[in-house]
Amino acid sequence: MAALSMAGVPGLFILLLLLCVFREVSPYSSPWKPTWPAYRLPVVLPQSTLNLAKPDFNAKAKLEVSSSCGPQCHKGAPLPTYEEAKQYLSYETLYANGSRTETRVGIYILSNGEGRAQGRDSEAAGKSRRKRQIYGYDGRFSIFGKDFLLNYPFSTSVKLSTGCTGTLVAEKHVLTAAHCIHDGKTYVKGTQKLRVGFLKPKYKDGGRGDNSSSSAVPDKMKFQWIRVKRTHVPKGWIKGNANDIGMDYDYALLELKKPHKRKFMKIGVSPPAKQLPGGRIHFSGYDNDRPGNLVYRFCDVKDETYDLLYQQCDAQPGASGSGVYVRMWKRPQQKWERKIIGIFSGHQWVDMNGSPQDFNVAVRITPLKYAQICYWIKGNYLDCREG
């Protein structure tokens, strides 16, 4: 693949991406079937890997971070150059033995089997996260009973030992928020021995239960834990290397030491909010105010930028890292399919026409983020051509 640098020419850089990367199909195959758009996706490939010193694991997991940069601030911020985009999408990998590497990437657009590197990932912006909010009536639903908790899509939600939520996106991979394991400067305490918890039924007398059980609810639900083998965090989240753009890159991927054997939810490129069914998003997480409960919610998207979705889904600490998903029609397979289109990050106060308003914010999976995360999962860009 040949790489064409566009450093210092952000306008042309964006124009080429919009013309060459996206091949969007009409989102509606019929009035009652909102359809997953099709994209010709970019490719994000490793170029070089450096060994880094072992980090300190002394950061506290922060659930309250604030920013004054809202949607309008995002939309008016300078666009990244090609070199900046490559820097933001480069990433750190932390291994279970405490070793750490930095991988630098190249960005490519495939055209007739040939590679030309272009791409952009975000409108540079500030970070934001504060205490999760309940907006008026609490619209969350606690999910009870093994018939729900252990079935898709709720079974894809898992708990991190650092206190956040994650979502199963492959046989051995969990998608979550970067701030759940890294505070932007170093790794959160406990990340070196990070575990992922799967909610399972605990029956009396150590029994496993059977189909003839008269009760849908076992004696208790408990977490079964699996250790994490390695984690990937984009350099865009690590403040020293990305000009403090923060929340745009608040996502991370965890690879487990062994397969989890559950059905997982695929990732997908986030469609524009107006194309989402009913304009709504859904996610489930382990909110701290309901210990041991999986909490589901849905709500309308209020605003969006290229990298973020602004909404007022009720949520509390612990829900960070939840996979935000929608269900749309998959035209080639002629079936409905849920996909993760974002990662719930946290809370933000926004100046709306001189009046402060608060939102909960999710990081959108853009085409470049999809290409990066998919490569982390698959290890082969040829398996990442469909978003």
Which residues form the catalytic set? 179, 244, 320
Strand pairing category for 195-202 and 280-285:
unpaired
Rounded to whole angstroms, the Cα distance separating 295 from 288 reads: 10
- Token pair 């350099």: residue: 235
**Cβ atoms within 10 Å, residue 276:** 21
Instruction: Give the separation between CA 220 and CA 109, rounded to whole angstroms.
Output: 51
- CA distance linking residue 40 with residue 43, whole number of Å: 10
Determine whether 190 is exposed, middle or buried from the number of CB atoms within 10 Å of its CB (0-12, 13-18, 19+).
middle
Q: How far apart are CA 8 and CA 105, in angstroms?
A: 18
Burial 22-55 (b: 16+ CB within 10 A, else e): beeeebeeeeeebbbbbbbbbbbbeeeeeeeeeb
Which residue's entry shows tokens 């209020």?
302
Q: Quick one: tokens of 338? A: 């849920």
Spatial neighbors of 303 by CB under 8 A, at least 6 apart, are: 71, 273, 310, 359
Angle, CA 352 vertex, CA 347 and CA 357 arms, to 5°: 35
| DSSP state string for 266-302 | -B-PPPPGGGSGGGEEEEEE--TTSTT-EEEEEEEEE
Length of the chain: 387
- Residue carrying the six token digits 């359809």: 35
- How far is 370 from 40, CA to CA, in rounded Å? 12
